[in-house]
């Protein structure tokens, strides 16, 4: 018989468990809340962008740089961790920074811990948008992670991708390897697997977690917990509208095709009518111009004799 746990032993075990969870939560910070991915407003052009050493738009250096690892803007010298010693003096600005990260393009402070650990643990090491394939250096926005497939997304494509992420690359929810219903779905491969085919010799399942995908090793999720949809292809009788009795077939498909053709012909007829109306207007304008020129020619050949306007008025007065 094992010994019964005392109250002090239970408290100590609970404390150790809490400390373990705290250490794990510190190491796994949410990507949107990480200091290297924080939102920054440029001092010169006033444009909002990701935290970076130089402005993406005007290439100006910020007055108060933010450390990409610890997120501080002022070094208070509370610990002796600083590589550059500044006893009794608070350092800000460029006096606080020690390096620029090649992955996230942000300043790293001159603390020994930040300088030695950030490059290895930078969350934006391979941050390339899965939609547009742009990296951190190619756009000025922040980087996000898809909540379903956990791929990197830029600020422009995050909403559009997540709206269409839960779509399988199959027409049914059946397992890829067999004909049974797929109970587990991989949102990276966009495929379903049954219980038997999720067991893989390459990727082992961790205790208390969902089984990994046998293709890519990404953690799968239960299909019933997701709002998954299948791929729909519009060709043949699948595009036919349902009839009154709820059936659809080739008949409805050809009817839709013929209606589309008639719709196109009506559209072309309208275009031809517009062109004919424009031609008629142009012909009318040309006719008006011709009539004006004819009338002006007839008046030019008209002879009114000696008039005051022609300069013969004073001769007539002398004769009288």
pLDDT digits 0-9 by tens, 54-111: 898 888 988 889 999 888 888 887 666 888 888 778 888 888 888 999 888 899 998 8
What b/e string do you get for 54-73 counting C-beta neighbours within 10 Å, with b at 16 or more? ebbeeeeebeebbbbbebbe
3-state secondary structure 295-306: HHHHHHCCCCCC
Residues in the chain: 320
Model confidence pLDDT, tens digit, residues 235-256 = 554 454 454 444 455 556 666 6
pTM given for the model = 0.54
Residue 266 pLDDT grade (very low, low, confident, very high; cuts 50, 70, 90) = low
- State the sign of the Cα–Cα–Cα–Cα dihedral 173, 176, 181, 187: negative
Split at pLDDT 50, 70, 90, the class of 264 is: low
| Number of Cα atoms under 13 Å in the Cβ half of residue 78 | 4
Q: So where are the chain's domains?
A: 25-120, 166-228
The residue whose two tokens read 């939102």 is 39
Cα–Cα distances in angstroms (integers) from residue 105 to residues 29, 35, 102, in the given order: 19, 12, 6
Distant-in-sequence contacts of 156-163, Cβ < 8 A, 24+ apart: 156/132, 157/129, 157/131, 157/132, 160/131, 161/130, 161/131
What does the block give as tokens for 273?
């009518």
Can you give the three-state secondary structure of 35-64, one letter per residue?
HHHCEEECCCCCCEEECCCECCCCCCECCC
Highest mean pLDDT among 150-159, 254-263, 274-283 belongs to: 150-159
């Amino acid at each position: 018989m094992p010994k019964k746990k005392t109250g002090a032993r239970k408290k100590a075990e609970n404390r150790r468990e809490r400390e373990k969870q705290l250490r794990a939560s510190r190491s796994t910070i949410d990507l949107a809340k990480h200091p290297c991915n924080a939102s920054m407003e440029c001092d010169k052009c006033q444009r909002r962008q990701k935290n970076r050493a130089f402005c993406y738009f005007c290439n100006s250096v910020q007055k108060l740089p933010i450390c990409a690892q610890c997120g501080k803007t002022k070094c208070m010298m509370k610990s002796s961790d600083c590589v550059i010693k500044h006893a009794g003096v608070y350092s800000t600005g460029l006096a606080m920074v020690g390096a620029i990260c090649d992955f996230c393009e942000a300043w790293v402070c001159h603390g020994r811990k930040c300088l030695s650990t950030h490059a290895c643990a930078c969350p934006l090491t391979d941050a390339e948008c899965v939609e547009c394939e742009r990296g951190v250096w190619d756009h000025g926005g922040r980087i996000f992670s898809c909540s379903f497939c956990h791929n990197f997304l830029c600020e422009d494509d995050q909403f559009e991708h997540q709206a269409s992420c839960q779509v399988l690359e199959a027409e049914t929810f059946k397992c890829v390897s067999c004909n049974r219903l797929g109970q587990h779905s991989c949102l990276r491969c966009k495929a379903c697997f049954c219980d038997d085919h999720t067991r893989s010799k390459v990727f082992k399942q961790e205790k208390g977690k969902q089984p990994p995908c046998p293709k890519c090793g990404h953690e799968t999720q239960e299909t019933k917990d997701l709002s998954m949809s299948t791929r729909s292809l519009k060709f043949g009788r699948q595009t036919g509208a349902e009839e009154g009795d709820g059936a659809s077939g080739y008949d409805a498909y050809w009817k839709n095709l013929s209606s589309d053709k008639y719709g196109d012909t009506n559209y072309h007829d309208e275009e031809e009518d517009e062109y004919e109306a424009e031609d008629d207007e142009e012909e009318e304008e040309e006719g008006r111009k011709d009539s004006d020129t004819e009338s002006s020619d007839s008046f030019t050949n008209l002879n009114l004799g000696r008039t005051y306007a022609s300069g013969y008025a004073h001769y007539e007065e002398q004769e009288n």
